[in-house]
């Protein structure tokens, strides 16, 4: 009897088209945050004054990054080799500081190649999808990027933070550092890093597809 040859096929997650259809462009996301702020709210379901203030700060951060991000030449070259459609679906919220520091980079990369489409979903309105991408199997941490091919099958995912910052975050949490101090240290790290580490991690993820 002839031996059967088995192929080791990696099963990939897929995302329902309805999520993509209901998602926003970066420009729509920015306008939504602005609209909430005008009426004294954030995108959060459970409103608070602090989340509104975070949202206002995040608009400033995104405005700055939209103007200042410089793309790593190696990443720039690799992005331009993407010849088949990809959807970069991101779970986010307007009050999330990490999202404000990272999503402008995704938008900048989208602008470099028409085959990449960035689409954004509010996390708290799409918990079914969020719960498929929990950090450490328990945390609904954002932003979460899910890169999909033309069949809506996952190519890679990223988030909620660059790995070195995630380790720093966990170390501070484990040592009972106050939440406000963690926020300050996190944003100090982002300001010093200037998206360089995030770019390197996206570059590595894209290289793995080749």
pLDDT given for residue 210 in this prediction: 78
Contact between 75 and 116 (Cβ < 8 Å): no
Rg of the chain in Å (alpha carbons):
18
Amino acid 5: pLDDT? 36
CB-based contact 29:120 (threshold 8 Å): yes
What pTM was estimated for this model as a whole? 0.93
Are 99 and 57 within 8 A, CB to CB? no
Fold (CATH) for 17-207? Glutaredoxin (3.40.30)
Structure tokens at 113: 């190649």
CA dist., res. 66 & res. 102, Å (int): 11
pLDDT value of position 3: 40
**128 contacts 121 by C-beta, under 8 angstroms:** no
Any alpha helices (H) in 69-126, and if so which ranges? 73-79, 97-110
Q: What is the DSSP letter of 95?
A: T
The pLDDT score that the predictor gives to residue 170 is 95
Task: Please list the pLDDT of the chain residue by residue as tens digits (210 residues).
Answer: 344 333 334 568 999 999 999 999 999 999 999 999 999 999 999 889 999 999 999 999 999 999 999 999 999 999 999 999 999 999 999 999 999 999 999 999 999 999 999 999 999 999 999 999 999 999 999 999 999 999 999 999 999 999 999 999 999 999 999 999 999 999 999 999 999 999 999 999 999 997
Annotate 148-184 with DSSP letters as a single string.
E-TTSBEEEEE-SS-HHHHHHHHHHHHTT--HHHHHH
């Amino acid at each position: 009897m002839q031996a059967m040859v088995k192929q080791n096929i990696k099963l990939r997650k897929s995302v329902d088209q309805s999520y993509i259809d209901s998602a926003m462009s970066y420009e729509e996301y920015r306008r939504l945050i602005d609209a909430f702020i005008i009426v004294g709210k954030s995108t959060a379901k459970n409103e608070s004054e602090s989340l509104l203030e975070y949202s206002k700060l995040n608009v400033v951060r995104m405005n700055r990054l939209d103007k200042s991000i410089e793309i790593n030449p190696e990443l720039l070259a690799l992005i331009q080799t993407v010849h088949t459609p990809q959807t970069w679906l991101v779970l986010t919220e307007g009050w999330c500081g990490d999202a404000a520091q990272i999503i402008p980079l995704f938008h900048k990369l989208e602008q470099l190649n028409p085959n990449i489409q960035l689409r954004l979903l509010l996390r708290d309105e799409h918990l079914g999808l969020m719960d498929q991408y929990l950090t450490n199997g328990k945390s609904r941490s954002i932003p979460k990027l899910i890169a999909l091919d033309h069949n809506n099958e996952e190519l890679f995912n990223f988030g909620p933070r660059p790995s070195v910052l995630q380790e720093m975050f966990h170390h501070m949490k484990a040592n009972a550092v106050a939440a406000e101090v963690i926020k300050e240290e996190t944003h100090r790290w982002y300001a010093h890093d200037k998206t360089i580490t995030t770019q390197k991690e996206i570059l590595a993820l894209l290289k793995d597809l080749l």
